[in-house]
């Protein structure tokens, strides 16, 4: 399966999982005792800057460029989409904003 196909599959799964949120703040240690605390750097610039964004998954690679599976909610309407083959992280964000704006206008 191509990376673009994988991104489309993730968008489809996002639609199926809508409303089913699983969150864990800690991960069990390797031996089942204690916890490991991990930190991640958010690469989805829509989070915190585009109202209603829930995020989903960012990605990038030489063959497919910068990609994003995204979801946002406004006024009870959910828009789910995929951005594939953007030339940079900033272009990916701009492409996603245009896609969401278009979806919310429909």
Q: Residue 1 corresponds to which tokens in the numbers above?
A: 């399966």
Using CA atoms, how far apart are residues 92 and 86, in angstroms rounded to an integer? 5
Give the domains, in start order, of the chain with CATH numbers.
3-18+26-105 (3.40.710.10)
Q: Look at residue 8 and tell me whether its pLDDT is greater than 70.
A: no
Q: Residue 66 corresponds to which tokens in the numbers above?
A: 């910068």
Residues present in the chain in total: 106
> What SS3 class is residue 40?
coil
Tens digit of each residue's pLDDT (9 = 90 or more) over 50-100: 999 988 888 888 888 999 999 999 999 999 999 999 999 999 999 999 999
Tens digit of each residue's pLDDT (9 = 90 or more) over 16-32: 444 444 444 444 444 55
Q: Residue 98 corresponds to which tokens in the numbers above?
A: 């245009």
């Amino acid at each position: 399966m191509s990376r673009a196909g994988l991104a489309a599959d993730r968008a489809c799964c996002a639609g199926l999982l809508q409303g089913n949120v699983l969150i864990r703040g800690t991960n069990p240690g390797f031996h089942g005792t204690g916890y490991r605390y991990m930190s991640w750097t958010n690469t989805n610039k829509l989070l915190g800057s585009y109202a209603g964004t829930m995020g989903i998954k960012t990605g990038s690679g030489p063959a497919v460029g910068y990609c994003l599976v995204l979801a946002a909610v406004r006024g009870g309407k959910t828009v789910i989409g995929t951005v594939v083959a953007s030339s940079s992280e900033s272009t990916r964000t701009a492409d996603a904003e245009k896609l969401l704006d278009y979806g919310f206008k429909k």
